[in-house]
Amino acid sequence: MPKKSPAQDAVALLKADHRKVEGLFKKFSKAKSKDAKKELAQEICTELSVHATIEEEIFYPACNGEIEDDLLREAYVEHDGAKVLIAELAQGNLDDEFYDAKMTALCEQIHHHVKEEEKPGKGTFAQARKAGIDMDALGEQLAARKQELLAQIKSNGLPPPETRSFTGHKMRQGKPVDMEARA
């Protein structure tokens, strides 16, 4: 019988996700062909969607009451902002005038979010560890849910994002920006 590999604790799993997405953003910024960019964008959107879901369904609820409320609230809002860009990118076209700009903005948002979660001593992860949350058990739950979500996405495609902090304000689409007219 094959030996089962040791499970990652929750923080290690989430940090590994962060490193993976950072690498994908770097690859996207260097990619030249549309096919490569499209494939990388799809992978970025998938990884971020799964990561946000497992944090929101499992990790953040486990931290509720154990870490600063403001930090958790901000994390939900940051996720929701990223989800808007993820939806734009996942449903967009590489030929869209703002596609690369949206990817850059998403990268910057995620970079900020990761910095907040991983901040030594004060970040979400440090506070969760100090609170004594069982990171091994939580890691197992995160890993299992992650595999479920990846299988669902493989079968059904990327689902529309679900926001948790945005209240569904009605927005109007303004007149498209004509960058060429300004030149």
pTM: predicted TM-score of the whole model, two decimal places: 0.89
Query: What Å distances lie between residue 61 and 53, 79, 118, CA to CA?
Result: 12, 15, 18
Q: CA-CA distance, 42 to 49, in Å (whole number)?
A: 10
SS3 letters for 84-145?
HHHHHHHHCCCCCCCHHHHHHHHHHHHHHHHHHHHCCCCCHHHHHHHCCCCHHHHHHHHHHH
pLDDT by residue for the chain (183 residues), tens only, comes to 444 445 789 999 999 999 999 999 999 999 999 999 999 999 999 999 999 999 999 999 999 999 999 999 999 999 999 999 999 999 999 999 999 999 999 999 999 999 999 999 999 999 999 999 999 999 999 999 999 999 999 999 998 888 888 877 666 777 776 656 555
